[in-house]
C-alpha cells in the first residue's frame, strides 16, 4: 500500500520508509488513520487518510490526500528562483516567528466535508496547546472558503503568531492571530501573484511585504524596492539605490537591508524586529517554490561560534513542543533521545556538523528541553509532588519513589536531591 501511495501522491519523491502510520482523534471527536510523510521536501507533513471512524460510530475506509506546507529552502544550486525571462517581481514577505498551521477539510465516503481540521507538519491533528490558541482566532474566512465543495480537497497554510505564541521575535502588537502563507488549490501550489488574484482568498490577511525585487523586460538588472504600504516598519525605512546584475546579488542586498533595520530597531527597543523574509515565487526549473532569506547579522552569528547558541536551540525546542506537545511524555518514556535527534536534525540547515556535535550544544539541548517542558507543567512544589507520589505509592521505598519521580517528572531532574531529602524525611516519620 505504501508503494502505491508513493507513486500516486508523491511522484516517487517520497519512499515507503518516509511514511509513518498515524492514528489521531480530531477536535470534533472523529478518529482518523493513515500515513504521513516525514521526507523534508515539498511533501513534508503531507498525508493520506485511509480510515475514518466518525464520532457517531460509523466506520469506513477512505483515501484522502492532504498536502502540507513544503519545506522552505535557502538559496543554493538546486533551489533558485527563475530570473531570466521577461518581467520579474518577487515580493519579500516578512517571515513571522510562530507556528505553521495547515487547515484541511475531512471528507466522508461521499466526499462531503464533515470537519475542518488544523494540523501541524508532524501531526495529522495539531497539538492541544495549538488548538487552544486556534480557538481564539476569527475563523469566518476559513469556514467560508471550505463551505464551497470545490475546496474540499484544498489546503490552506497559515502562520499562528503573537504574544500568546511567542518564539524568538516578539510580535508585541498582536495577541494571537494567523496570516495566510500558502494555498494548495486544485492540486496546485499558488505563488504570491496567484493568491492575490484568487477571489476566494480575498478575505485572508497575508504577511507584510517589506521589499520587492524587480526586473522589467527591457532591463538587464534587478532593483530592490521598499514597500511604502508597510506601516509597521515605516520609521525604519531603508532604501537601496543600487541595481544588481543577478537575482542572487539582489537577495544579498535584501540581507544587508534587513540587518540595517534590525540594528536601527535594536537601538531603540533592545531587540531585533525581523527574523527574515520569504519569497513565494517560481523555481528556476519549473513550478512554485518558497525561498527564505535571513539578515546578514543572523547568518553571521550562526557561522562564528564553535557550538550552537542557546537561542537557536530554544527555537527548535519550541518547534518540538509545537509539534508533539501532548505526546512529549510518551515519546520521552519510549525514547529519551527522540527530542535530541529532532533538534539536531533541525539545526543542520543553519549549523555545521562540528557545531551541532559539540558537547556544549548537546548540554544546551538537554537543559533547554527540560526548562521548556518544566515551564508547561502546572505549578506545583516539590514538597507537594513528593507527598502526592507517596499517597499514590504507599508501599514503595525511597529508591522506588525516586525512580517514579524521575519517570514522572523528568524535567525536574535538577531537583532530584531535594526530592530525595523530602522522601527520606516523610518516610522516616
Mean pLDDT of 193-220: 90
Q: Which residues contact 44 (CB under 8 A, 6 or more apart)?
A: 37, 38, 68, 69, 70, 71, 121
Phi and psi at residue 347, to the nearest 5°: -75, -15
Looking at residue 424, what is its pLDDT?
87
Looking at residue 374, what is its pLDDT?
78
User: Quick count: other Cβ atoms within 10 Å of Cβ 71?
Assistant: 17
Q: What percent of the chain has pLDDT over 90?
A: 53
156 DSSP β-pair partners: 103, 183
Q: Give, for 4, the enclosing helix (H) or strand (E).
A: helix 2-10
Q: What percent of the chain has pLDDT over 70?
A: 99
**Alpha helices in 24-79, H assignment, sequence order:** none
Q: Give the lowest-confidence range in 68-72, 78-82, 117-121.
A: 78-82
For the stretch 243-260, pLDDT in tens is 999 999 999 999 999 999
Residue 379 confidence class, pLDDT cut points 50, 70, 90: low
Beta pairing class for 155-161 and 177-185: antiparallel
For 24, the 3-state DSSP assignment is strand
**Would you say residue 86 has pLDDT above 80?**
no
Higher pLDDT, 219 or 190: 190
Higher pLDDT, 322 or 337: 337
Q: Is the separation of the CB atoms in 290 and 90 below 8 Å?
A: no
Measured CA to CA, the distance from residue 401 to residue 396 in angstroms comes to 6
CA-CA distances (angstroms) from residue 12 to 3, 28, 194, 207?
9, 34, 27, 33
For the stretch 389-401, pLDDT in tens is 999 998 889 999 9
- Output the average pLDDT for the chain: 89
Measured CA to CA, the distance from residue 408 to residue 338 in angstroms comes to 17
Looking at residue 377, what is its pLDDT?
67
Q: Is the separation of the CB atoms in 311 and 305 below 8 Å?
A: no
Q: Is the separation of the CB atoms in 46 and 9 below 8 Å?
A: yes
Residue 378 confidence class, pLDDT cut points 50, 70, 90: low
For the stretch 14-49, pLDDT in tens is 999 999 999 999 999 999 999 999 888 889 999 999
Residue 104 confidence class, pLDDT cut points 50, 70, 90: very high
* Three cell numbers, residue 420: 530525595
Measured CA to CA, the distance from residue 38 to residue 300 in angstroms comes to 30
Looking at residue 168, what is its pLDDT?
76
Angle at 136 between CA 135 and CA 138, to 5 degrees: 95
For the stretch 326-374, pLDDT in tens is 788 888 888 989 999 999 998 988 888 999 999 999 999 999 998 888 7
Q: Give, for 132, the enclosing helix (H) or strand (E).
A: helix 128-134
**Would you say residue 214 has pLDDT above 80?**
yes
Longest distance between any two alpha carbons in the chain, whole Å: 90
Q: Which residues contact 361 (CB under 8 A, 6 or more apart)?
A: 307, 308, 313, 347, 355
Q: Give, for 382, the enclosing helix (H) or strand (E).
A: helix 382-392
Measured CA to CA, the distance from residue 407 to residue 69 in angstroms comes to 35
* Three cell numbers, residue 32: 482518523
**Residue that is written with C-alpha cell 508597510 in the block:** 230
DSSP secondary structure of 317-375? HHHHHHHHGGGHHHHHHH-TTHHHHHHHHHHTTTS-HHHHHSHHHHHHHHHHHHHHHHH
* Three cell numbers, residue 91: 515580493
Amino acid at each position: 500500500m505504501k508503494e502505491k501511495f508513493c507513486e500516486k501522491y508523491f511522484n516517487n519523491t517520497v519512499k515507503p520508509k518516509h511514511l509513518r502510520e498515524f492514528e489521531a482523534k480530531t477536535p470534533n471527536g472523529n478518529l482518523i488513520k493513515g500515513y504521513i510523510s516525514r521526507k523534508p521536501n515539498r511533501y513534508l507533513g503531507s498525508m493520506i487518510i485511509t480510515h475514518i471512524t466518525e464520532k457517531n460510530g460509523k466506520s469506513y475506509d477512505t483515501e484522502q490526500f492532504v498536502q502540507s506546507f513544503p519545506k522552505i529552502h535557502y538559496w543554493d544550486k538546486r533551489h533558485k528562483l527563475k530570473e531570466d525571462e521577461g518581467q520579474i517581481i518577487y515580493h519579500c514577505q516578512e517571515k513571522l516567528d510562530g507556528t505553521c498551521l495547515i487547515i484541511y477539510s475531512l471528507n466522508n465516503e461521499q466526499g462531503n466535508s464533515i470537519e475542518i481540521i488544523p494540523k501541524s507538519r508532524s501531526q495529522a491533528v495539531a497539538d492541544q496547546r495549538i488548538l487552544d490558541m486556534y480557538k481564539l482566532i476569527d475563523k469566518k474566512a476559513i469556514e467560508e472558503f471550505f463551505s464551497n465543495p470545490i475546496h474540499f480537497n484544498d489546503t490552506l497554510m497559515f502562520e499562528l503568531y503573537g504574544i500568546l505564541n511567542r518564539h524568538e521575535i516578539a510580535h508585541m502588537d498582536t495577541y494571537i492571530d494567523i496570516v495566510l502563507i500558502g494555498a494548495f488549490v486544485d492540486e496546485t501550489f499558488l505563488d504570491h501573484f496567484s493568491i492575490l488574484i484568487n477571489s476566494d482568498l480575498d478575505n485572508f490577511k497575508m504577511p507584510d511585504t517589506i521589499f520587492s525585487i524587480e526586473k522589467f523586460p527591457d532591463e538587464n538588472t534587478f532593483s530592490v524596492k521598499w514597500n511604502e504600504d508597510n506601516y509597521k516598519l515605516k520609521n525604519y525605512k531603508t532604501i537601496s539605490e543600487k541595481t544588481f546584475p543577478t537575482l542572487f546579488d539582489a537577495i544579498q542586498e535584501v540581507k544587508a537591508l534587513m540587518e540595517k533595520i534590525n540594528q536601527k530597531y535594536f537601538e531603540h527597543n533592545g531587540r531585533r524586529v525581523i527574523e527574515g523574509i520569504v519569497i513565494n515565487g517560481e523555481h528556476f526549473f519549473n513550478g512554485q517554490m518558497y525561498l527564505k532569506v535571513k539578515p546578514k547579522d543572523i547568518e553571521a552569528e550562526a557561522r562564528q561560534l564553535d557550538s550552537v547558541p542557546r537561542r537557536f536551540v530554544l527555537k527548535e525546542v519550541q518547534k518540538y513542543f509545537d509539534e508533539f506537545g501532548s505526546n512529549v511524555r510518551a515519546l520521552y518514556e519510549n525514547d529519551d533521545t527522540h527530542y535530541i535527534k529532532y533538534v539536531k536534525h533541525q539545526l543542520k540547515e543553519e549549523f555545521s556538523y562540528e557545531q551541532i556535535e559539540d558537547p556544549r550544544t548537546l548540554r544546551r539541548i538537554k537543559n533547554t528541553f527540560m526548562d521548556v517542558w518544566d515551564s508547561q507543567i502546572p505549578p506545583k512544589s516539590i514538597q507537594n509532588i513528593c507527598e502526592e507520589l507517596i499517597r499514590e505509592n504507599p508501599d514503595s521505598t525511597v529508591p522506588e519513589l525516586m525512580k517514579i519521580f524521575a519517570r514522572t517528572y523528568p524535567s525536574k531532574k535538577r531537583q532530584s536531591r531535594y526530592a530525595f531529602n523530602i522522601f527520606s524525611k516523610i518516610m522516616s516519620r
